[in-house]
Structure 1
Amino acid sequence: MINSLWISKTGMQAQQTQLDVISNNLANVSTNGFKRANAVFKDLMYQNLRQVGANSSEQSELPTGLQLGLGVRTVATSRSFTQGSLQQSGNNLDLAINGSGFLQVTMPDGTTGYTRDGSLQLDAQGRMVTSSGYPLTAGITVPAEAQNITVSADGVVTAKMPGQATPQQVGNIELANFINPAGLEPRGQNLFSESLASGNPITGAPGTAGMGTVMQGFVETSNVNVVQELVTMIQTQRAYEMNSKAITTSDQMLQRLSQL
């Protein structure tokens, strides 16, 4: 009877974790480039009270065993890197990746961060930076007198200069990809960092080596499906209630036992 209390407690903890993940997904439903997460669970070890296949007599074996589970635990939060919808913004500095790959930015500590959020801006030096002020690792600087900025599908950045008929090339955007994007470590601010699980980055120009292409004037929205998250939330609530009910039932049975 005590086992049922502990098992139900682990179930309630697991569903609370699931609800936390769902809440974060819904909170970021309007975050550019956000990738939804999902909690992953595994059952705990079992009490093996009767070994399957053990001899029940000299000439027969047990066809089934007797194992009692001890509950559930959360082992990971898997992140889905399916592409979100591409929404036209009309801003020349907004870039969306149509396909696989990440924009590379230089972090304050000198390391490289990776993002799908292409809502870029220009800082005081004319560098192309993220909304948090982190510059692209390509170090693209747009001259102050530039009248128009164009980014091609393969990442070539050109600027129209006064008095020149031919646009001037100011840089090239390189994308990075990973063998296991789900292994990237989220750092907040729409950024990810490399980890042992993700593998080393594979860099290349957009449209080559399996990289996606760059679409100027578009942003990638979150890949969170609100209807799916609400359905999962209801399932989580019901599972939490059932585990809570199991604890109440176990407590009532223990009370009945103490009255005998």
Structure 2
Amino acid sequence: MKTFECGQNFLFESFDNGQTYYGPFKDRIVKLVQITPHIIGIDSNVKKNLKNEMEIFLRCKDDYNEMLKVIAIDDLMNEVISYSKGLRLLKQEEFECSISYLLSQCSNIPRIKHHLRQLGEIYGQKVRYEKREFFLFPTREDLLDVSEDTFRELGFGYRAKYIWNFINCHPGFLLEEFEDSEEFNKNLQCIDGIGKKVADCIQLFGYGDVTHFPVDIWIKRFMIQYYNEGKKASTKILSRLGRQLFKNWAGYAQEFIYYYARKNMKIEN
């Protein structure tokens, strides 16, 4: 299931080589099964509002075919689409997503997953589902009494102060409170530890703003090589270029490119 193998969510895991995924979502553990290439089976330990919650989580109301048309700007992107098609963006819970990407700085996917599991196992609620033990991701309230030193003891390193500050000093945001998408993004970047890339990831994956185009090392290499004539450019410039090329579906294009680039290893150093 490409959606859970493209680096946007770090808490869903598979026990059968990618056919079935389990993970925490808000107050429940969710099970997603790939029945056919176009059909996903859904189950959970909490049945209430499951269909509605999963339609939001899986962004089922996005016009997927329209998105594909918009981002198919040339032969290269047609190749990217062919390889990545079926991947969906997820509308994640804002707090969990923000903590995930604060922890992602100068890190890698296995380490991010490890740190998030630590938080769940120590501070989250234990849930038994299908004879397996899972942990819900802790809420902000669950973590308010955790000290910066404790986060350091968990191995968060310099990120510990960012995590503590975010939990204690930033009780939450509503995208609609801001005049526009850019103002919200700039506001996120005013938070200690959140730069352009992390702000874009939080805005895209946590707040569902698919116009944003986060730039990590894979996206940077891809964009420079194929869309910037091989010329070096800043993260900010490449993010703007991605939004210009892929319009209101830039976030989808970014994730398709990321999945394609990592799997194909066609990016020159």
Shorter-chain TM-score: what band?
under 0.3
Higher relative contact order (CA 8 A, sep 6+): 1
TM norm structure 1: 0.23
Q: Which protein has the bigger strand share?
A: 1
Q: Which protein has the bigger helix share?
A: 2
Max Rg structure: 1
